[in-house]
Amino acid sequence: MTTNTKGNPYYINYGFQEGLGPSSHSPAVRTGLPVYVPQNINTQNTSAPWYPPASPALPDRRPSCSLITLIVFGCFLLALVGFILWFFLFYSTEGCTDPGGCMEVSRHCAEAGCFRLYGQDFVLQMFSPKSKSWRSMCAEGWTDAHGRSACRQIGYEEDTYVSSGQTASKNGDSSGYVTLRPESRPGDLAQKDLVDSASCPADAVVTLRCIDCGLRRGPATSRIVGGQVARRGAWPWQVSLHLESQHTCGGSIITPLWLVTAAHCIDGYSNPSDWTVYAGYLNLDDMTSNSQKVALIISHNYNSVTDENDIALMKLKKPLPMSDVVRPVCLPNVGLTFTAPRSCWISGWGSTENQGSSSKVLMEAQVNLIDSETCNSPAVYSGAITKSMICAGMLEGGVDACQGDSGGPLVTEYASLWWLVGDTSWGIGCALRNKPGVYGNVTFFLSWIYEQMQNN
């Protein structure tokens, strides 16, 4: 967390890491830590425009060949238009704007049940390969055994299961339901045990809590400028990631085995044995025992030039013991949309001033989401913000994440739970005017996160 009092940009920081490799843009720093070289955003093309070479002149064609060519080309266009219409009709999916993604979901879910959680009530939905749509699960005949099976298929460990419940069917279920076949065995959730239905006898749909997430001790403190020391247990999902025995990045607990962090933190340092995780601590000096080892690191298709897809997962060798000071944050369910200027919180052991050293104690700060249009304006980041990113901070400056906060959580409270909105990614300087923090958009990566948890 940092408060900036200088009036002009004096440091360009593209990874809020404590340990940046030496460069002409950065002060002398430790060697042997992740190198994430600060760089300017190139928003203008200064090179001469490029044109393809001219095609060689074609010989004159006889009229009969031209007519044949036109007929063939017209048939091709008709066939192409027909295919496109069929493709969109066949793979159109409620809530799915990417036909290719819908096709992938359809193929993936053809043999086994494919589940997701929807909205603030955690309504259980299943993708129906037959109707090519997501349908809510009818509560008729549903048991905890079914709930455990669904949570396992979503990607959660079975021992984190909380409960199954039900809520009244709503207008959002107009596309139909998925119901259990009466003859299916208790707990079975294979495709053969489920059937599409236009109605639900119970007139209620299943709600499912696969993990006890998003709870913390006490309310958030009042609005702040800059940063302040966090209370013990205030952000129980916050972890410190150590490389070569030094704090390098932050991360967020999403299950006892899985953490979310930034891909640039592990770029070039993807060996799990190099990393140590500390959870439940406030002070860096206290992180001498109860460390956790990393078993697996999975980075998204990260682009170190554009910072696209700056998210990674760490799987621990053994589950973290849950307590009042160690708890998971909730992943945002499908259907939850957090938009500007929503209030959020950031936390970490990063610098409290630009180019400064890491804070010895966990700091917290309140920031507001900033819409992409504003963040992409020429005065701010001039088109550098993509769908995989989300901006948060204060355009007037004064509060921000900084070096050492990378990978840490951007969270918001909604429906009495705390949700992971983003992971700290990059920014120009710290707390400068019109240069807010940029975070990985966790909602954008939701399907990828669950896919990794399912398969690993």
pLDDT in tens, 189-199: 887 888 999 98
Lowest mean pLDDT, pick from 27-41, 319-333, 345-359, 402-416: 27-41
Backbone angles phi, psi at 99, to 5 degrees: -55, -40
Q: Does the annotation count 406 as an active-site position?
A: yes
- pLDDT class of 322 with cuts at 50, 70, 90: very high
* Residue 352 pLDDT level (bands cut at 50, 70, 90): confident
| The residue to which tokens 């070479």 are assigned | 53
Residue 152's pLDDT band (cuts 50, 70, 90): very high
Q: How confident is the model at residue 185 (pLDDT cuts 50, 70, 90)?
A: confident
Question: What is the enclosing helix (H) or strand (E) of 108?
Answer: helix 99-108
For residues 351, 356, 358, 362, the Cα torsion angle rounded to the nearest 10 degrees is -40
Instruction: Tell me the C-alpha to C-alpha distance, in Å, between residue 60 and each of 53, 65, 66, 192.
Output: 21, 10, 10, 63
> Tokens at residue 189, please?
């959730």
Backbone angles phi, psi at 168, to 5 degrees: -60, 140
Residue-wise pLDDT for 206-233, tens only, equals: 999 999 999 997 554 433 336 799 999 9
pLDDT beyond 90 at 150:
yes
- Whether the ω angle into residue 49 lies within 30 degrees of 0, i.e. cis, is no
The residue whose two tokens read 């909730």 is: 330
Q: What is the DSSP letter of 351?
A: B
The per-residue pLDDT for 420 is: 98
- Rg of the Cα trace of the chain? 25
Q: Name the nearest CA neighbour of 125 among 229, 233, 206.
A: 206
pLDDT of 350 > 60? The answer is yes
- The whole-number pLDDT of residue 1 equals 65
Tell me which residue has tokens 């039900």: 166
| Cβ-based neighbours of 205, under 8 Å, separated by 6 or more | 123, 124, 136, 137, 138, 139, 166, 167, 168, 169, 173, 177
- The H or E element spanning position 372 is helix 372-375
**Which residue's structure tokens are 């207008």?**
171
Instruction: Give residue 129's pLDDT.
Output: 83
Which one of 347, 351, 406, 425 is the catalytic residue? 406
pLDDT recorded at residue 88: 40
Single pTM value for the model: 0.79
The CA-atom distances, in angstroms, between 354 and each of 9, 223, 293, 334, 431 are 10, 22, 31, 36, 8
- How many Cα atoms within 13 Å fall on the side-chain side of residue 109? 27
SS3 assignment, position 135: strand
CATH superfamily of the 100-209 domain: SRCR-like domain (3.10.250.10)
Each domain of the chain, given as residue ranges in start order, spans 100-209
- Of 50, 65, 61, 15, the C-alpha closest to 36 is 15
**CB count, 10 Å around CB of 28?**
6
Q: Confidence band (pLDDT; 50, 70, 90) for 354? A: confident
Residue that has been written with the tokens 């001469």 in this structure: 48
d(CA 211, CA 442): 18
* 60 band by pLDDT with thresholds 50, 70 and 90: very low
Residue written as tokens 């002009």? 8
Catalytic annotation present for 310: yes
pLDDT computed for residue 230 by the predictor: 94
Could you report the per-residue pLDDT of 252-276, keeping only the tens digit for each?
999 999 999 999 999 999 999 999 9
Tokens linked to 274: 């190099």
Backbone angles phi, psi at 240, to 5 degrees: -110, 130
Residue 341 scores a pLDDT above 90: yes
Q: Does residue 380 have a pLDDT over 80?
A: yes
Q: Which of 310, 400, 405, 423 is catalytic?
A: 310
Given a cut of 70, whether residue 288 has pLDDT beyond it is yes
Q: What's the token pair of residue 74?
A: 């017209």
Amino acid at 246: Q
DSSP tag of 58? P
Residue 80 — very low, low, confident or very high, per pLDDT cuts 50/70/90? Answer: low
Encode pLDDT of 31-55 as tens digits: 234 433 333 333 333 333 332 333 3
Residue 263 burial (CB count, 10 A) = 27
For the stretch 84-139, pLDDT in tens is 444 443 333 334 434 334 444 444 454 445 899 999 999 999 998 888 889 999 99
Q: Note whether 132 and 92 are within 8 A (CB).
A: yes
Give me the percent of the chain exceeding a pLDDT of 70: 72
Q: Is the pLDDT of residue 82 over 70?
A: no
Q: Which of 264, 300, 358, 405 is catalytic?
A: 264
